[in-house]
Amino acid sequence: QSTVSSGINAEYGHNHYSETVSDVKQSLLVSQPPQFEGQHTLADIMSTTKASLVGKLKLVLVNVKEFINTDITFANKPYFRGPFCVHDIKQGLVLKYVEHILSDVAEMGDNLPPSLLLVMARLCLDFQTNTISYLATLTEEMFPPDSSAVPELLSPTVPELAAIAGDTVQQVLTKYVNIKGLSISQMIHTSVKTRDWLSAVEPRNVRAAMKRVVEEITDLDIQIGALFEEGAVRGPNSDSSRRAHSHNGSRIASSKYKYTPSDTESSLLNKLFNDQVEIFGNIQFTKLSILTGVIKIGLKAFLESVRLRTFGKYGLQQVQVDVYYLREYLWRFVEEERLLNFLLEEVVSSAVDRCIDPVTMEPSVIMLLCEPS
């Protein structure tokens, strides 16, 4: 009877999880369900989702606790209490419930709202860091086992389940980065493909597509920042980075520009463009790492698109303007500024190689065109 009861309660928990995810999706797409009303950030929605899932499980535990009430004769039998507390409740109900959630999140498809993937990734990260251990401890306190239990037979164990949660975060964030990176890539590729670069007129401003890219990344920065920590910047600190910023921007804008990377830079670029792992590699669970992944995919598309076009003098100069503009705004969103510089410099270098009249624009003019209106 106890096994049947825990099975029924597990199914009840699974149904509640499915309903909760459906409500989250609705809250992100259209009008908000009552439980999400008034919540405007993804962090609020994630917190409510987590509280709902954990709260429902705790309610189920309170209900099945009746099976070990001291007034019930068979509840005090060792052959019942041990297996029931450890295998039926901790394993069959609590850990299986968490395992079901992690499995479902890992299998979420690319057709779902990207913001839902972000929320669920953060939920799984919380499960990894504290929720799983909290639920296991709570279960042991509510259902203390006796010597008849055999906890070493549990599978998965709490540490193994936490590791699964970490793997799930990685999978979901990789999907998110690929989806958003593809979106940025399509935006850039279309803007390059549909333009007549040979007959382009002298640049007068930054192309609208580049401004949309920056706007999109800025929006992502806000969304991701609501759920994930900033993350560490690799390379120069913020002060030296700001000092180098002007130098690197001028280098990209230079009228004598012809990119000739050092041996070290060449090695890094070869790895970046020949090793797919560098572009589509593992994402750290931080805002800067996630944004860096999106930006790298987008700039890789920019580079490949430029390599397929032929440029006139003013077409090349327009690329210079666009690249300088991207550099001015995107550097604050990446965890390693050198990679951003290498990618952007390679875009300009490829445009120079593909230009029939490679006369570049004066840096001062480029900077003027990129100044905010």
Tell me, what's the pLDDT at 234?
73
Burial of 246 (0-12, 13-18, 19+ CB in 10 A): exposed
| HEC letters along the chain | CHHHHHHHHHHHHHHHHHHHHHHHHHHHHCCCCHHHCCCCCHHHHHHHHHHHHHHHHHHHHHHHHHHHCCCCHHHHCHHHHHHHHHHHHHHHHHHHHHHHHHHHHHCCCCCCCHHHHHHHHHHHHHHHHHHHHHHHHHHHHHCCCCCCCCHHHCCCCHHHHHHHHHHHHHHHHHHHHHHHHHHHHHHHHHHHHCCCCCCCCCCCCCCHHHHHHHHHHHHHHHHHHCCCCCCCCECCCHHHHHHHHHHHHHHHHCCCCCCCCCHHHHHHHHHHHHCHHHHCCCCCCCHHHHHHHHHHHHHHHHHHHHHCCCECHHHHHHHHHHHHHHHHHHHHHCCEHHHHHHHHHHHHHHHHHCECCCCCCCHHHHHHHHCCC
Q: Which residues contact 8 (CB under 8 A, 6 or more apart)?
A: none
Residue 321: both structure tokens together: 């303007």
In tens, the pLDDT along 222-278 reads: 999 999 999 888 765 444 444 344 445 555 555 444 444 444 444 444 544 444 435
Q: Answer whether 40's CB lies under 8 Å from 48's CB.
A: no
| Nearest CA-CA partner of 303 in 350, 249, 338 | 350
Tell me, what's the pLDDT at 250?
53
Tell me, what's the pLDDT at 8?
45
What pTM did the predictor assign?
A: 0.83
Residue 118: both structure tokens together: 């972000």
Residue 225: both structure tokens together: 């920042």
Q: Which residues contact 16 (CB under 8 A, 6 or more apart)?
A: 52, 53, 56
Burial of 30 (0-12, 13-18, 19+ CB in 10 A): exposed
Tell me, what's the pLDDT at 197?
96
Q: How many residues does the chain have?
A: 373
Q: How far apart are the first and last CA of the chain?
A: 73
Q: How far is residue 42's CA from residue 225's CA, in Å, rounded to a whole number?
A: 9
**C-alpha 151 chain-centroid distance:** 36
Tell me, what's the pLDDT at 277?
35
Tell me, what's the pLDDT at 38?
46
Residue 44: both structure tokens together: 């609020």
Q: Which residue ranges in the chain fall short of pLDDT 50?
A: 1-2, 4-6, 8, 31-39, 237-247, 255-269, 271-277
Tell me, what's the pLDDT at 253?
56
Measured in degrees and rounded to the nearest 5, phi and psi for residue 32 equal -85, 135
